[in-house]
Structure 1
Amino acid sequence: MAFRSLLSLIKQRNNNALINNGYHNHRSARFVTSGAVSNDYDEETSTTAEVDDDDLRSRILRLRLPKRSATNVLQKWVLQGNSIPVSQLRDISNELRSSQRYKHALEISEWMVSHEEYELSDSDYADRIDLMTKVFGIDAAERYFEALPLAAKTCETYTALLHSYAGARMTEKAEELYERIKDSNLPFDALTYNEMMTLYMSVGQVEKVPSVVEDLKQQKVAPDMFTYNLWISSCAASLNIGEVRRILEEMSDGAGSDESWIRYLNLANIYVTAGHLDSASSNPLVETEKQITQSQWITYDFLIILYGAMGNKDKLDHIWNSLRMTKQKMISRNYICILSAYLILDHTKEAEYTNLRSTLQASASNYTIR
């Protein structure tokens, strides 16, 4: 990701992020099946009684090997006289993605596309782009996106492809798509701009981050906390502490009485001096606040991104390990921050582990798209 590996993560994320708005004019603009997923696989060996007695979800989750076909299971289920609501297909697909079984999740997506009775949402098409990236690679996802009808090229599908480029650090491709996004006149939210900012942070082009923020403001898109995290971190990475202070002043003007924003600003003001950022050997707040609340946790999200931008993996590891020992249940925003920080540092092993934890967490809390 960066994000929608990130955000697709990430946009599984919560978080994910991509909002299920419904698919406009789905009958006329529906995209036909690509034929990318083969049906020519045998089902998992099971006893007849076992298969007949359990539900569709159990049958598909028993397909442990990628060569087994979820399509065959779906077909047999229908031939036995059962119906399959679209909500059930989405739930099963989400669960498969949480366990990184992307090929089976893509087969479910293929089934939804090839059956006209299902109304596909913008998020369904965006998820398909993300899955095709994981199973067949970015080229396949790119071809799929370009072949979509104009009505299916929405904020969500554009952002899904941008996420794929950002995750692979394909800067030139991402920038070309970003220009198309800006020319599209579609109402994008902060997530799309965060994808570009994360990409620039991950490839060390921190000087390009402020221009993305300017684009966001020109489009009158409200920055979210993650936008500010990335923006401040890009300045900290170049030790532009004066600009960090100016950003914090801008945030203060819009913070109002929101407790989490006030705590964020207070902590940021403590850490923006070069001395604190460069020489602080630990973060006692994390060590002592074993009972921290989720509203307080946002301050540590800031530190995680900040230390990632500064290239300080030791402090990043220290904060992350300390937070994992607290009793507070993490949400997808927390995982997005740590995942992005490790990607910025190019520590993909830690990022992959964190990504798995984040998708499992998202699944456990009513799973939201990316």
Structure 2
Amino acid sequence: MNSPLHSPTRKQKQANNPSNLPEFDVTLQTMAARSFFLSLRRTSSTIIKNNACSKGISHSRFLSSGVLASDVLEESSSSTGKDDLKTRIFRLRLPKRSVINVIKKWVTEGNQTTMFELRQIQKELRKSQRYKHALEISEWMVTHEEFALSDSDYAIRIDLMTKVFGIDAAERYFEGLQLSANTSETCTALLHSYAGAKLTEKAEKFYERIKESNLSFSALMYNEMMTLYMSVGQVEKVALVVEDLKRKNVVPDIFTYNLWISSCAATLKMDEVRKILDEISSDSRSNDSLLNYINLVRIYIKASHLVNAEFSPLVEADKSITQREWITYDFLIILYAGLGNKVKIDQIWKSLRMTKQKMTSRNYICILSSYLMLGHLKEIEEVIDQWKQSTTSDFDISACNRLLQAFKDVGLNEKANDLHMLLLQKNSSPTNE
């Protein structure tokens, strides 16, 4: 059994991959599955994960109301362990307790804090979904002139205000920003808020407004609109956004292509997918990530001809399947997950388990991620049990760790938490790699 703290070596990977196929990457798998799944459910929180962020509101009375000085003293004092600003802030267990009071006390004790330190603490608070405390750090920076806020600080503030107070508060804050803070990042942050709440009409109106401005936008802004249209089922509008992007000579990124291809795949327009792949291939700006993505999609295309058949992918129990065929079936499972077709996922998985081919951790991770995308926790439990009972493939907690991290990386924190809890229930505690 692989150690949960160490990834397999290259030799081990080759031993488990006799056909010399490229190692199946969990993050790429999750990203691909997510794109198809977007036609069913909105999951766009990570697209603006590292770029979006924001500035101040006049809600400080809400942020620190009901907080006693004794609360802070209680949380900041400790007879053991490290004592720095980050540690004190992370000792605040309840949202009602005030980060602002902790920072004030830290400063009055003669300590200093820097913008870099505050941003790092805020980043970790956001990763832990402690949005109210993260917003309070933003409030501190806003009210102290020695801290010069960047475009990203303002954008993060808009994102945090949406999470803590709602879109209306974020919208009012954005409209009250000085002209110098009205940037592509803050505009994208507000558009992200509209898209996340599926406020299509508001998003479209704001999109038209900022699209005609003098601001220079990256592909991120267009990706937000594409993601929104995928999530509300208006797949046909994705191509219109791509036209806008090209008209403005904006360079598409891997998410742009991912969403564009997904919009075609959602309606099984594989000829359109091929045209997009040809466009990527002929673009001199294509990098290794895009070329790897092309290879992934080509496997989807190869598998997609089975979609229109009345379940031709069922295989005979006595048939031996090559590793190359296995990968095709793996991606077919993900394709059906994107289409929300659990029945066919069940059928493929059942038939594959009856073959003579030895299961690998890749196969188990594929089916786990697909059931997780669709929220079928009972089936996930069954797959974990099947994996643990397997006589040919050891249960690999390190692969589960990578799957957990992949879901977190694309913003699916709730689903990652669901899997985490199921693993704990199965006495398979995941660890940080």
Q: TM-score, normalised by structure 2?
A: 0.64
- Equivalent residue for 2:305? 275
CA distances 1:255-308 after superposition (whole Å, capped 9, x unpaired): 67844433432342342264244555799879978xxxxxxxxx97x995x556
- State the Cα distance separating 1:54 from its structure 2 match: 1.2
CA distances 1:326-363 after superposition (whole Å, capped 9, x unpaired): 38957988756584xxxxxxxx9538759xxxxxxxxx
Q: Distance in 2 between matches of 1:210 and 1:254?
A: 19
CA distances 1:134-175 after superposition (whole Å, capped 9, x unpaired): 111111111111111111111111111111111111111111
- State the Cα distance separating 1:252 from its structure 2 match: 1.6
- State the Cα distance separating 1:248 from its structure 2 match: 1.5
How many residue pairs align between the two structures?
324
- State the Cα distance separating 1:318 from its structure 2 match: 1.8
Task: State the superposition RMSD in angstroms.
Answer: 4.0
- Equivalent residue for 1:89? 118
Q: Distance in 1 between matches of 2:107 and 2:324?
A: 53
- State the Cα distance separating 1:82 from its structure 2 match: 1.5
SS at match of 2:100: helix
CA contact (8 A) 1:201 1:209 kept: yes
Query: 2:275 aligned with 1:246, yes or no?
Result: yes
- State the Cα distance separating 1:8 from its structure 2 match: 4.6
CA 1:260/1:98 → structure 2, altered by over 3 Å: closer, same or farther? closer
Tell me, which stretches of 5 or more residues in structure 1 are unaligned? Answer: 24-29, 290-298, 340-347, 355-363, 366-370
CA contact (8 A) 1:255 1:262 kept: no
Segment of structure 1 superposing worse, 245-254 or 125-134: 245-254
1:111 pairs with 118, 140, 150, which one?
140
CA 1:193/1:95 → structure 2, altered by over 3 Å: closer, same or farther? same
CA 1:216/1:198 → structure 2, altered by over 3 Å: closer, same or farther? same
Q: Distance in 2 between matches of 1:78 and 1:64?
A: 21
SS at match of 2:63: coil
Aligned residue type for 2:148: E
Aligned residue type for 2:217: F
Aligned residue type for 2:60: G
- Equivalent residue for 1:211? 240
1:234 pairs with 242, 263, 266, which one?
263
Query: 2:64 aligned with 1:39, yes or no?
Result: yes
CA 1:153/1:111 → structure 2, altered by over 3 Å: closer, same or farther? same
Q: Distance in 2 between matches of 1:115 and 1:51?
A: 32
CA contact (8 A) 1:233 1:310 kept: no
CA distances 1:228-269 after superposition (whole Å, capped 9, x unpaired): 111111112122222112111111212678444334323423
1:350 pairs with 415, 426, 429, which one?
415
CA 1:38/1:329 → structure 2, altered by over 3 Å: closer, same or farther? closer
Structure with larger Rg: 2
Query: 2:355 aligned with 1:326, yes or no?
Result: no
Aligned residue type for 1:89: L
CA 1:259/1:334 → structure 2, altered by over 3 Å: closer, same or farther? farther
Q: Quick one: percent identity of the two aligned structures?
A: 52
Q: TM-score, normalised by structure 1?
A: 0.74
CA contact (8 A) 1:17 1:191 kept: no
CA 1:288/1:275 → structure 2, altered by over 3 Å: closer, same or farther? closer
Segment of structure 1 superposing worse, 312-321 or 133-142: 312-321
CA distances 1:107-150 after superposition (whole Å, capped 9, x unpaired): 11100001000010111111101111111111111111111111
Aligned residue type for 1:103: K
CA distances 1:308-339 after superposition (whole Å, capped 9, x unpaired): 65334675972626999638957988756584
SS at match of 1:320: helix
- State the Cα distance separating 1:10 from its structure 2 match: 4.1
SS at match of 1:38: helix
- Equivalent residue for 1:126? 155
Q: Distance in 1 between matches of 2:247 and 2:367?
A: 38
Q: Distance in 1 between matches of 2:116 and 2:398?
A: 36
- Equivalent residue for 1:195? 224
CA 1:52/1:250 → structure 2, altered by over 3 Å: closer, same or farther? closer
- Equivalent residue for 1:59? 88
Aligned residue type for 2:214: N
- State the Cα distance separating 1:51 from its structure 2 match: 9.7
CA 1:255/1:77 → structure 2, altered by over 3 Å: closer, same or farther? same
CA 1:74/1:260 → structure 2, altered by over 3 Å: closer, same or farther? closer
Segment of structure 1 superposing worse, 37-46 or 149-158: 37-46
SS at match of 1:112: helix
- Equivalent residue for 2:202? 173
- State the Cα distance separating 1:195 from its structure 2 match: 0.8
2:253 pairs with 212, 224, 229, which one?
224
- Equivalent residue for 1:139? 168
Query: 2:54 aligned with 1:11, yes or no?
Result: no
Tell me, which stretches of 5 or more residues in structure 2 are unaligned? Answer: 1-37, 316-320, 346-364, 371-382, 384-395, 420-431
CA distances 1:26-52 after superposition (whole Å, capped 9, x unpaired): xxxx96755364323122424856499
